[in-house]
Structure 1
Amino acid sequence: MDAAVQTKTFVEVSEVWVPEGDTLRLSGGDYGPMRAFEEASRRTSFARGEGLPGRAWAEGKPIVLKGFDGSYFKRTEAAKAAGLTSAVAIPVFAGKSLKAVLVTLCADDDTCTGAIEVWTEAEGLLMLDDGYYGAAKHFEWVSQHTHFPKGQGLPGGVWASGTPTLMRDLGSGYRFIRADSAGKAGLTTGLGLPVPRPGGETCVLTLLSARGTPIARRFEIWDARAAKVGSRGGAVLIDGLCEREGPLWTDDTQEEPRRVAAWQGAIGRVLGSGVPLAEPATQAAGHGYASLVALPIFRGDEMAFVVAWYC
């Protein structure tokens, strides 16, 4: 598929900030054509609690920033010039140690529909901590008035299992509690992620994708737990979803589960380093994908999963 004719994605920019002592510095990112914003980012660093990445580090949970004017966002002018209007920062902790902060930035308009939600526990239920929904205003209202017991819906299911989960057909699936409003908003696919916090509190991140402005065109969940991969190590692909038919790899017809070893390809680099990736999708460019984000998920100090999405 020609990237030039693909539909616009919900997320415009993804970037990774890594700690160097008491400071977060840019490790890499995918900025598309937004070169001026990329240059502004490369000249920027964040102390703990400073700016959006620093705030996510200090609070130990994903942070949603729906607007930049008058906020603590440090790159407001560069973001405004690029047409970026909102952002979500996702800290990656191994135990109590920060590995990195993944930041995704969006451009709001009348047609941009999707959702990035943060759910936290309160009195035995998951409540919406915050979220960005683009043009899906009614779905946002429904979400603000919805809560989940453990095991119910996409957030509750992730909470119960501690496992990343892909959910299809949001508008018609009985497992998705907000199916009616999701269908009206055009939301089709949900990805739920457990986000470990250094204090052990429950936090779930959900990415809800619409057909018109998808968060990604392909999702993958890789299991890196020792019980799953055995003595061979690495990770095994346990779930995936693609917007179109056809393999991403030339040998996708193999009968055994697909595996990657540490440092083998993009997923292997995340396995080896424990740090997220956000970069042009070099390996998958021939299949119509322009960018890749790969996010590690830890259980305690050990990596348990890598979740990847391709745009």
Structure 2
Amino acid sequence: MDAATATATPARAFIGVSEVWVPEGDRLVHAAGDYGAHTAFEEASVRTSFGKGEGLPGKAWAEGRPVVLKGFDGSYFQRTEAAKEAGLTSAVALPVFDGETLKAVLVVLCGDDETTTGAIEVWAERDGLLMLDDGYYGAAKHFEWVSKHTHFPKGQGLPGGVWAAQTPMLMRDLGSGYRFIRSESAGAAGLTTGLGLPIPVPGDQNYVATLLSARGTPIARRFEIWDAREARVGRDGGAVLVDGLCEREGALWNEENPKRAQDWQGPIGKVLGTGLPLVIGGAQIAAGYSSMVALPIHRDGEIAHIVAWYL
């Protein structure tokens, strides 16, 4: 993909802000973020910290689970005025745990209008099924209704597939793919690509997050899944790109020429080295993209996978 093609970004992305909060003593402090033009909200954020249970990041930390907040007014959200001025109305917090230890909290914030369409969902295991815990859908109201009335056995659909495999998964052509259980309503909403990822938390509860992207207001224009497990990579460290797509180029890898990332080399290597999520923008990432989010998934004391998305 050339830079001129890649920079033809839609006027409005589904996610307006992405930020990383890390524990420092008994507080969560700001570690990184991509705020686009929302400079006042950025300034408010870098001055903020959260105790356990405080604000959205603190709630995800205290409750040990991903949290969706679909409205800030009258809620525990602590930057409401700055968010309102930036046109941000909803947020999702995804905690990154390594066993019992919180490594970081990734927070993504979205605005709401009549055209912004997509979905960020959190699915929780209840009575042997995955049920919708909560989600933010923008203008995809019918798809939201369908999702609230859908549940997944292990292995079925995108959430159930992630649950069964305990690995991230990409699903293409949501509106026509028979594997995507909600394909008819997804097609009507304009949803095209789905990324599902397990969210390990302390205890036995299973959570799966799904990011469903629409062409008009995408969550991302490029998705990547990296496998960092020793059985796959060998003893040299690093990670292998095992799945990915660009909205214009399709798959980003093949069996004969898998792409590798080494610890501390490039953005994926930095995530491997630190064990923390990464949010970067501007000149720090590949030409043609304005922002990148990379999220590690820890298993058994090590990074098992990294999922990345680029806008």
TM-score scaled by length of structure 1:
0.95
Residue type at the aligned position of 1:310: Y
Please give the alpha-carbon distance, in whole angstroms, between the structure 1 residues aligned to 2:19 and 2:154.
32
Please give the alpha-carbon distance, in whole angstroms, between the structure 1 residues aligned to 2:163 and 2:137.
22
Q: 1:227 aligns with which of 226, 231, 241?
A: 231
Alignment partner, residue 145 of structure 1: 149
Q: 2:235 is paired with a residue of what secondary structure?
A: helix
1:1-311 maps to which residues of 2 (within 5 A)?
1-2=3-4, 5-7=8-10, 8-245=12-249, 255-280=256-281, 282-286=283-287, 288-311=288-311
Q: 1:232 is paired with a residue of what secondary structure?
A: coil
Residue type at the aligned position of 2:297: I
Please give the alpha-carbon distance, in whole angstroms, between the structure 2 residues aligned to 1:185 and 1:14.
24
- Asked if the contact 2:243/2:251 (under 8 Å) is kept, the reply is no
Deviation at 1:33, TM superposition (A): 1.0
- Asked if the contact 1:216/1:309 (under 8 Å) is kept, the reply is yes
Q: Deviations over 1:199-255 (max 9, x none)?
A: 13110000000010110000000000000001221100000010113998xxx8995
- Asked if the contact 2:237/2:262 (under 8 Å) is kept, the reply is yes
Deviation at 1:98, TM superposition (A): 0.2
Please give the alpha-carbon distance, in whole angstroms, between the structure 1 residues aligned to 2:203 and 2:250.
43
Q: Deviations over 1:122-149 (max 9, x none)?
A: 1000000000000000000000000000
Deviation at 1:29, TM superposition (A): 0.5
Residue type at the aligned position of 1:292: M
Please give the alpha-carbon distance, in whole angstroms, between the structure 1 residues aligned to 2:8 and 2:86.
21
- Asked if the contact 1:118/1:131 (under 8 Å) is kept, the reply is yes
Please give the alpha-carbon distance, in whole angstroms, between the structure 2 residues aligned to 1:84 and 1:284.
25
Q: Deviations over 1:71-90 (max 9, x none)?
A: 00000000001111110000
Residue type at the aligned position of 1:157: G
Please give the alpha-carbon distance, in whole angstroms, between the structure 1 residues aligned to 2:33 and 2:41.
11
Unaligned runs of 5+ residues in structure 1 are: none
Please give the alpha-carbon distance, in whole angstroms, between the structure 1 residues aligned to 2:283 and 2:260.
19
Q: 1:140 is paired with a residue of what secondary structure?
A: helix
Please give the alpha-carbon distance, in whole angstroms, between the structure 2 residues aligned to 1:200 and 1:171.
33
Please give the alpha-carbon distance, in whole angstroms, between the structure 2 residues aligned to 1:281 and 1:121.
38
Residue correspondences, number: 307
- Asked if the contact 1:281/1:310 (under 8 Å) is kept, the reply is no
Among all aligned residue pairs of Structure 1 and Structure 2, give the percentage whose two residues are the same amino acid: 72
Please give the alpha-carbon distance, in whole angstroms, between the structure 2 residues aligned to 1:254 and 1:158.
22
Residue type at the aligned position of 1:297: I
